[in-house]
A and B are shown apart, each in its own frame.
Chain A
Amino acid sequence: MSKFSHIYIEDEALVYPISTRILERFPNAKRVQISDYKEVFGRLNQHFQIQKRSVKLILSVKKGGYLYRGSDFSQGFGYKNFYYNTLMLNCVYNCDYCYLQGMYPSANMVLFVNLEDFFEATKKAVAEREYKSEPLYLSVSYNTDLLAFESVVPYTAYWIEFADACDDLLIEVRTKSANYKAIKHLKVTPRVILAWTLSPREVAEVYEKGAPSLDRRLEAIKEAMEDGWQVRLCFDPVLRIRNWKYVYTDFVEEVFRYLPVERVYDVSLGVFRMNADYLRRIRRLRQDSDILFYPFEVRGDTVSYPLLHRKEMISSLLEKLTRYIPKERIAIWE
Chain B
Amino acid sequence: MKKVIITALHAEAKPFIEFFNLKKSNLFAKIPFYTGESVFLCVSGIGKVRSAIATASLLAQEKEPHSVVVFNIGICGSTTKEVKLGELFFVNKVIDHGSGRSYYPDIVIEHSLPESQLMTFDKPVTQVDFPQEYKGLVDMEASGFFEAALTFLSPHQVVCLKIVSDFLEGEVMNKAKVSGLVERNMEAINGIISSYDAICSFLATDVLDANEHSLLEQLSMHFRLTFSQYHQLIEWARSYKIHKKGSLEILRQYLQYSVSDKRERNNYLEKLRSLLLDE
**Residue A261, interface by CB 8 Å:** no
Q: In the assembled complex, which residues on chain B have CB atoms less than 8 Å from the CB atom of A8? A: 104
Binary A-proximity of B86-115 (CB < 8 A = 1, otherwise 0) = 000000110000000010101111100001
**Residue A293, interface by CB 8 Å:** yes
Identify which of residues 207-261 in chain B touch chain A, using a CB-to-CB cut-off of 8 Å.
207, 235-236, 238-239, 242-243, 245
Identify which of residues 286-333 in chain A touch chain B, using a CB-to-CB cut-off of 8 Å.
286-290, 292-295
**Residue B150, interface by CB 8 Å:** yes
CA distance A54 to B156 in the complex (A): 11
In this complex, what residue of A is CB-closest to B205? A287
Identify which of residues 44-63 in chain A touch chain B, using a CB-to-CB cut-off of 8 Å.
44-47, 49-51, 53-54
Min Cβ gap B80→A in Å is 16
CB atoms of A43 and B93 under 8 A apart = no
Q: In the assembled complex, which residues on chain B have CB atoms less than 8 Å from the CB atom of A46? A: 106, 154-156
**Residue A32, interface by CB 8 Å:** yes
CA distance A145 to B43 in the complex (A): 47
CB atoms of A295 and B110 under 8 A apart = no
CB atoms of B155 and A45 under 8 A apart = yes
In this complex, what residue of A is CB-closest to B114? A30
Identify which of residues 27-52 in chain A touch chain B, using a CB-to-CB cut-off of 8 Å.
30, 32-35, 39-40, 43-47, 49-51
DSSP majority for the B interface? mixed
In this complex, what residue of A is CB-closest to B239? A293
Interface centre among A34, A286, A290 (most CB of B within 10 A): A290
Q: In the assembled complex, which residues on chain A have CB atoms less than 8 Å from the CB atom of B150? A: 43-45
**Residue B188, interface by CB 8 Å:** no
User: Out of B102, B199, B239, which one reaches A34, CB within 8 Å?
Assistant: B102
CA distance A302 to B1 in the complex (A): 37
CB atoms of B92 and A30 under 8 A apart = yes
Given contacts A45-B150, A287-B238, A295-B277, contact A32 B92 (CB under 8 A): yes
Min Cβ gap A277→B in Å is 14
In this complex, what residue of B is CB-closest to A36? B102
Q: In the assembled complex, which residues on chain A have CB atoms less than 8 Å from the CB atom of B236? A: 295
CB atoms of A293 and B243 under 8 A apart = yes
CA distance A288 to B243 in the complex (A): 10
Given contacts A32-B93, A50-B199, A288-B205, contact A295 B278 (CB under 8 A): yes
Q: In the assembled complex, which residues on chain A have CB atoms less than 8 Å from the CB atom of B155? A: 43, 45-46
CA distance A39 to B276 in the complex (A): 42
CA distance A171 to B239 in the complex (A): 39
Min Cβ gap B274→A in Å is 10
**Residue A6, interface by CB 8 Å:** yes
Chain A interface residues toward B at CB < 8 A: 5-6, 8, 30, 32-35, 39-40, 43-47, 49-51, 53-54, 283, 286-290, 292-295
Would you list the 4 A-B pairs with minimal beta carbon distance, nearest first? A295-B277, A293-B242, A293-B239, A45-B154
